[in-house]
Structure 1
Amino acid sequence: MKIPAMKRRDFLKVGGGVVAGAAVGITGTNVGNNLGAGGELAAVASSRGLTGAEARAALTSVVPPGKYDPFFMFASGGHSGQISIIGIPSMRLLKIIPVFSRDSFSGYGFGTDVDGVIPRGSDPTKSNLLSWGDTHHPALSETEGRYDGRWLYVNDRANGRIGMVDLADYKTKQIYDIPNIGSAHGGVFVTPDSEYAHVSSITPRPITDNGYAPLESYADLYRGFSSWCAIDQTTGHLVPEKSFQIELPPYNQDLADMGKLASAGYGFLNSFNAELSVGMSHKNPPIEIGAAKNKYDYLHVIDWKKAEKVVAAGKIIMRNGIRVIPLQVAISEGILHFIPEPKNPHGVEVSPDGNYIVIAGKLDPAVTVYSITMIKKAIEDKNFEGTDRYGVPIIPITAVTAAHVELGAGPLHTQYDGKGNAYTSLFIDSAIIKWTLGPDAGVTEKPFTVLEKIPVHYNIGHLAIPGGDTVAPVGTYMVALNKWSLDQVQKLGPQHPVNLELFDINHTPPRVLSSLPLGGSEPHYAQIISVDRLNPLTVYPPGTSPETMAKSEFATASGQERIVRADGFVDVYATVMRSHFTPEQIPVTVGEKLRIHLTNIETAENATHTFAVPNHNLQATLDPGETVSVEFTADRVGSFAFYCAQFCSAMHMEMYGWLLVAPAGA
């Protein structure tokens, strides 16, 4: 598909000319040190060739040094396997959190305590070691349907895993490799009080003992799964023994959302490929054609509260270490119902009050709005139009549809501003449509009416508004997560950065403020939280293990440094501070196994150090107060100068020591 480059929006231009003080709105106004009154700001804008709207946007979005953003955006990194934290409205990239992929800057994945997360989160039946992932949908933990700033979860679309990040120190503490699913696009989405993190399989897998079945048996032997991963309310960790799955037909289950308020207790899960297309062969079309044959696919309506009771009653089977509600039990117990939805849908988003479920179909120019009141009534009345081939009851689409709102080409995802308005992205049109919800959301004037078409640059996927998928959105800013940048950045080789655009949606029409070309990652979904909901540590209590967030048994204070040989190991208890290691010499013999326990005994904020060992692929990063352990075998003879890779002080070049590996018998 050839995508033409769009011109700059007309509504950004002020007569096409350079800025005058009146256009910027600053002439005669005291800005800072009277720069506005003196015309200096207007002169700066003029020298840069800025229009009035561009200069106004720059002043509106700037966050000067020493001042802070009121919001953080947590954005997935796609196949970088990471999470990015971006300040709003500054659009500054503030931090990268590695989750599924190793990261030498943070020392993540190179042998320290917390980095045992990666091997522990790799099912050996999938791979000996999964050291990359494809992060798609981050989910902040919630209390009463509002972000609470405790934890963050994100899926690995490639490998069917969930990563858990502790927002006390912004570090990944757990990777859970979910049984029975291969790849997982539809998640993570948390329930309103963080009881569960939900993720579903996008590509069904065989339910055979060895995980293989020929595609000729696809309808009979392949299944999808809706996974409800229980969250420990103290640690935020996922608890497999308290988790469960619901077996689903072998459709491609896609994005989901959790019910809230009026729809609390329900989960809503999109699907496509009700045709069960498996790809091109001598008699079958390609998947993209075969999976778009039917007029409708199925919205899965899951009563997870009822599912909890069924699990508690023991109406489950164990499959690969997790409790599973079989498909026929889910049907007979009234846990699973289907509603036809326009074919090949993508986004499903529940309105802040929980009354509406909005479905965007990639191949339908409209969004379909379902009513939870009508859904509940249809289920209660058993108003069904038959079943699918597996026996799942189908609710008539006409019985539950509140509206069908035509928006444009390629609708994907919807966010809400808390004022009765919805914003839906249009991939093909490179635009966002602002439209109104209906009476159940308190909209009495012009319900389900298109208000604005907001151009973006270009080909938007997801979008994000502060709290825009919670019960309490803050309709101030909106970020478009665009997939293409084209003419928005200078050429940087064949691959361009993606382009994130920031809008002021307090203004009518919404105004673009700035953009962030982002190289090195491809955000799919993002959530924006007010920073006053976050309460991170500044330093760890002395000797803290980041894995347990308690004092480590290997914590070492100044004066307690030592080397101990016992049980076939050389245990080194070391301290790190500006600008030296203690001990500075670690003598061993080739073949000995080392466990180096490092404690950063600094108490000053931001006094981070590292322990880097040349030629050994070891790099540990230690924040102030942190204790980590590195374990390896001294498998080569030599003198290796370990050092601190962090520029921590004026004497950082002197901050090194020696790992001395002597030949056998020396």
Structure 2
Amino acid sequence: GKFESKDAYGIPVIGMKDALHTQVQLGLGPLHTQYDAKPCVAYTSLYVDSQVAKWNFCEGKVLDKISVHYNIGHLVTMEGDSVDPKGRYLIALNKLAIDRFVPVGPLHPQNHQLIDISNDKMQLLYDMPLPLGEPHYVVAIEAGKLKPGVRYKVGTDSRTDKPHPGAVRAGEEKTVKKGNKIEVFGTLIRSHITPETIEAEVGDEVTIHLTNLERAQDETHGFTVSTYNVHASVEPGKTVTVKFKADREGVYPYYCTEFCSALHLEMQGYLLVKPKGWKPSKAGGAAGANYSEADYKAQLKKVADTQAVIDSVVGYITSVNYKDFPDVVNMMDDAVDQLGKIKDAKSKADEAAGKKDWNNAALWTEQIWQYQVKAADLGLRAKTYLEQNGAKKVK
């Protein structure tokens, strides 16, 4: 008599009434339920009523309701569909905004609303309009559980997570021409694109591989060639490839499209597309950069001045308990990585200067300065972080 019925084989069948613990009238249009850290407490979205209902599924009663704007679909509480919900907040994923924001045309944003559920009564905290895209099912994950990588290993193809065949390090940049195909192996670094010029003829197929040499977190570079409709976003360590056909003669700038540093506007070069079969006249031909001894000495002074800034910042950082701050330790590791690259560049600059090759001496000294700028930027970020987070002096 405990079960409603038995099947053809005499096996008891559990019916709806046998399985049902309680039934609660929450409101019109219930759609989605999430759970609280408190035992037996759940939250259900009510699409027709434009409300969220808070209810106790053990005792079978409604505890609270809050109106949302408008026609809520899904909702999410903090880890609210796991075995260990965190409580505290709920986000209502509403389909319609209607009159909540200033209208800018027929297409309105959707409205997410942040609700405090830490007390008996729910309290609306914040409206967050979203652009395109119906706000469907989402999850909330405690930030401390996320351990993402913040930079690629230098030369990584982000599509495969393997080394990119077009990757090069600083000083290895090159341009290879075979027939009507030009392949460029270049690098990006604050605030320079190498090579500075790429030469082609009308009809050439141009392939450009670019490696972002940055190790600092969040130092993304962009790349585009004027009028050729190509663009790349290049995160730290990543190598990308852009391809296009040089189908018209002229001089076309290529440049970084991410505001990456104070010298961002200098981060550009030129694609020179010559007429098919063009030959320079005796008076023609593009001359490369021609640096003098004075330019080289000016570069040396710039390097010395920048090093003084670095020494000052390092002096402060090492005078406090910076090792107690993991973010600062990571920044310092990146800075040391940059400074470690200077030795090779300096030996090449010194070798060129010894031969009175002021052009290469100045260029390699400029490369030293680029490494310094990155290290200084990291150091200043670290110093600010320490000052704002209560770093203490050490003996």
Q: Same fold (TM over 0.5)?
A: yes
Q: 1:436 to 1:665 in 2, by over 3 A?
A: same
Query: Counterparts of 2:205 and 2:99 in 1: how far apart (Å)?
Result: 55
Whichever structure has more helix as a proportion of its residues is: 2
Task: Quote the residue 1:464 is aligned against.
Answer: 76
Gaps (5+ residues) in structure 2? 279-395
In the alignment, which residue of structure 2 is the partner of 1:422?
Answer: 42
Superposed CA RMSD: 2.5
Counterpart for residue 244 of structure 2: 632
Structure 1's 661 and 382: CA in aligned 2 closer, same or farther, altered over 3 A? farther
1:537 pairs with 149, 158, 163, which one?
149
Cα distance change of structure 1 residues 585 and 435 upon mapping to structure 2, 3 Å threshold:
same
Report deviation, 1:399.
Answer: 5.5
Give the SS at the match of 2:144: helix
Counterpart residue type for residue 191 of structure 2: S
Which of 269, 274, 287 matches 1:662?
A: 274
How many Å apart are 1:663 and its aligned residue? 2.7
Deviations 1:38-62 (A, max 9, x none): xxxxxxxxxxxxxxxxxxxxxxxxx
Matched, 1:622 2:234: yes
The CA deviation at 1:535 is: 0.9
1: CA distance, partners of 2:203 / 2:86 = 59
Structure with greater contact order relative to length (CA < 8 Å, sep ≥ 6): 1
Question: How far, CA to CA, are the matches of 1:420 and 1:637 in structure 2?
Answer: 72
Distance across 1 between alignment mates of 2:214 and 2:25: 60
Q: In the TM superposition, what is the alpha-carbon distance from 1:400 to its structure 2 partner?
A: 4.2
Alpha-carbon offset, residue 422 of structure 1: 1.5
**Structure 1 residue aligned with 2:215:** 603
The Cα shift of 1:382 comes to: 6.8
Provide Cα deviations, 1:501-525, integer angstroms capped at 9, x if missing partner. 1111111111111111223443222
Q: Which runs of 5+ in 1 are unaligned?
A: 1-373, 385-394, 439-445
Q: Distance in 2 between matches of 1:489 and 1:474?
A: 31
**Which whole-Å CA distance do the structure 2 matches of 1:579 and 1:650 have between them?**
8
Are residues 627 and 414 of structure 1, via their aligned partners in 2, closer, same or farther at CA, if it must alter by over 3 Å?
A: same
Match of 2:51 among 415, 428, 431: 431
Alignment of 1:69-84 (within 5 A): none
1:409 to 2:28 alignment: yes
CA distance in 2, matches of 1:553, 1:471: 45
Corresponding residue number in structure 1 for 2:224: 612
Aligned AA (2:34): Q
Select 1:507's aligned residue among 119, 122, 128: 119
CA–CA separation in structure 2 for the residues paired with 1:405 and 1:592: 72
Q: Counterpart amino acid of 1:569?
A: K
Which residue identity lines up with residue 585 of structure 1 in the other structure? T
Partner of residue 131, structure 2: 519
Max radius of gyration: which structure? 2
| Aligned equivalent of 2:195, options 561, 565, 583 | 583
| CA–CA separation in structure 2 for the residues paired with 1:400 and 1:567 | 76
2:80 is paired with a residue whose SS is: coil
Q: Can you list the C-alpha shifts for 1:210-257, whole angstroms capped at 9, x where unaligned?
A: xxxxxxxxxxxxxxxxxxxxxxxxxxxxxxxxxxxxxxxxxxxxxxxx
Cα deviations across residues 131-150 of structure 1 (Å, max 9, x unaligned)? xxxxxxxxxxxxxxxxxxxx
Measured in 1, the distance between the counterparts of 2:180 and 2:160 equals 26
**Residue in structure 2 matched with residue 388 of structure 1 by the alignment:** none
Amino acid across the alignment from 1:628: V
Matched to 1:512, the amino acid is: L
CA contact (8 A) 1:383 1:396 kept: no
CA distance in structure 2 between the aligned counterparts of 1:381 and 1:518, rounded to whole angstroms: 56
Residue type at the aligned position of 1:527: V
Counterparts in 2 of 1:382 and 1:478: CA distance versus 1, 3 Å: farther
Distance in 2 of aligned mates of 1:515 and 1:529 = 20
Counterpart mapping for 1:245-394 below 5 A: none
Provide the C-alpha distance between the structure 1 equivalents of 2:260 and 2:230, rounded to a whole number of angstroms. Answer: 19
Cα 1:586–1:383 change in 2 (3 A) is farther
Equivalent residue number for residue 321 of structure 1: none
Equivalent runs, 1:132-147 vs 2, <5 Å = none
Within the alignment, does 1:493 sit opposite 2:110 as a pair?
no
Aligned mates of 2:190, 2:225 — CA distance in 1: 18
C-alpha contact (below 8 Å) 1:427/1:459 kept by paired residues: yes
Deviations 1:517-555 (A, max 9, x none): 223443222211111111122222222221222332221
Alignment: residue pair count = 272
Conserved 8 A contact 2:41-2:57: yes
Cα offset, 1:608, TM superposition: 1.4
